[in-house]
């Protein structure tokens, strides 16, 4: 009888310890979730502020709106919508996506994937446009505005098609969706990297041969800018694509470490929309001048 009472006491202690451990584990998982939520919300605000300020500078200065900047302006619009729509939807979809109908899931997911996809397509189109300008400078000067407008429309249609496909796969075949998105990102970055590598090689060969056309200083600055864009795009987007493929192939179990890696690569992926305007716009001398004028006007109004 004494053994039974002791055994029951031990079982109650074990049960209490087990419950306490579960509570502590839930609390430890909840705290990182709150931290990542704060990080994502802060990132959304930064993306909105940086891209909105960049668009404001373009809007207030007509001389900045020209053929060579149309794609950059379109990229800024896409990045702005990433912070305004896509990243907030990623937070909402993670919490409430299973509670809505299939059609609403498709609509939310399409919006979620549309703007990051458009940003990636814009990156590749800008690299191809710069490649054409470097290889065929005289022909490039004859390209009209209507060509850029058609390219921009094609960019959004391609992004919409890709987003719709990813949404359907997310609902029916989530693993196939991960492979599709990872392949989409890798192909885009390959186009960007190959284009910029050819541009840098062309600029260096032109400087060695002392070709008369073009400004050597401008070409060197452009090559540095393109190299920075390529490096930053790879550093922000490629880790997410690699981690997705590895997690699917190895079937990694859900754990705290994998949760941290998932959130970290996601934050890096969205950070691409925050740094692109800074690299493309701030390194442009005309934009820096417009930025100073805009800040000067705001300071004068405040006074």
CATH of the domain at 91: 1.20.1070.10
- Give SS3 for 101: coil
In the chain, % of residues over pLDDT 70: 75
- The token pair that represents 190 in the structure block: 């390959």
Q: Which of these, 73, 272, 74, lies nearest to 188 by C-alpha position? A: 272
Structural domain for 62, as ranges: 2-302
Q: Which of these, 119, 110, 144, lies nearest to 229 by C-alpha position? A: 119
- Give SS3 for 136: coil
- The token pair that represents 136 in the structure block: 């065929």
Q: What is the dihedral of CA 6, 7, 11, 13, to 10 degrees?
A: 20
| Separation CA 45–CA 131 (nearest Å) | 33
pLDDT at 288: 72
- pTM, full prediction: 0.79
Residue pair 80/47 in contact (Cβ under 8 Å)? The answer is: yes
As to burial, measured by CB atoms within 10 angstroms (0-12 exposed, 13-18 middle, 19+ buried), residue 279 is: middle
- The token pair that represents 151 in the structure block: 């390219």
Residue pair 134/199 in contact (Cβ under 8 Å)? The answer is: yes
- The token pair that represents 86 in the structure block: 């896509």
Q: Which of these, 223, 197, 206, lies nearest to 283 by C-alpha position? A: 223
Residue pair 196/215 in contact (Cβ under 8 Å)? The answer is: no
In the chain, % of residues over pLDDT 90: 15
- The residue with greater pLDDT, 198 or 96, is 198
Total count of domains within the chain = 1
Q: Which of these, 81, 107, 83, lies nearest to 93 by C-alpha position? A: 107
- The token pair that represents 199 in the structure block: 């541009």
- The token pair that represents 75 in the structure block: 């990229």
pLDDT at 87: 86
Average pLDDT for residues 213-241, to the nearest whole number?
A: 71
Inform me whether the pLDDT recorded for 233 exceeds 60. Answer: yes
- The residue with greater pLDDT, 69 or 301, is 69
Residue pair 64/58 in contact (Cβ under 8 Å)? The answer is: yes
Q: What is the per-residue pLDDT across 129-176, written as a single tens digit (0 to 9) for each? A: 888 888 888 888 888 888 999 999 999 999 999 999 999 998 888 888
pLDDT at 98: 59
């Amino acid at each position: 009888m004494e053994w039974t009472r002791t055994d029951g006491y031990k079982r109650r202690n074990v049960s209490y310890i087990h419950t306490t451990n579960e509570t502590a584990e839930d609390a430890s998982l909840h705290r990182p979730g709150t931290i990542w939520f704060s990080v994502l919300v802060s990132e959304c605000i930064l993306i909105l502020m940086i891209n909105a300020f960049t668009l404001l500078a373009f809007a207030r200065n007509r001389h900045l709106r020209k053929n060579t900047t149309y794609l950059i302006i379109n990229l800024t619009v896409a990045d702005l919508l990433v912070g305004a729509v896509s990243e907030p939807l990623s937070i909402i979809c993670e919490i409430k996506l299973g509670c809505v109908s299939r059609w609403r899931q498709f609509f939310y997911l399409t919006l979620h994937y549309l703007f990051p996809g458009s940003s990636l397509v814009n990156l590749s189109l800008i690299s191809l446009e710069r490649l054409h300008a470097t290889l065929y400078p005289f022909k490039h000067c004859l390209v009209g505005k209507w060509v850029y407008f058609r390219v921009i429309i094609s960019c959004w249609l391609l992004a919409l098609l890709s987003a719709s496909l990813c949404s359907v796969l997310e609902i029916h075949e989530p693993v196939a969706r991960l492979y599709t998105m990872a392949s989409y990102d890798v192909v885009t970055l390959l186009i960007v990297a190959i284009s910029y590598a050819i541009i840098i090689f062309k600029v260096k060969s032109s400087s060695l041969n002392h070709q008369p056309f073009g400004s050597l200083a401008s070409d060197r600055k452009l090559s540095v800018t393109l190299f920075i864009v390529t490096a930053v795009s790879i550093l922000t987007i490629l880790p997410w694509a690699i981690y997705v493929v590895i997690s699917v192939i190895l079937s990694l179990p859900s754990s705290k470490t994998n949760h941290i890696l998932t959130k970290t690569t996601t934050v890096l992926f969205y950070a691409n929309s925050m740094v692109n305007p800074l690299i493309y716009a701030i390194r442009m001398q005309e934009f820096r001048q417009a930025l100073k004028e805009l800040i000067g006007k705001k300071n004068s109004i405040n006074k």
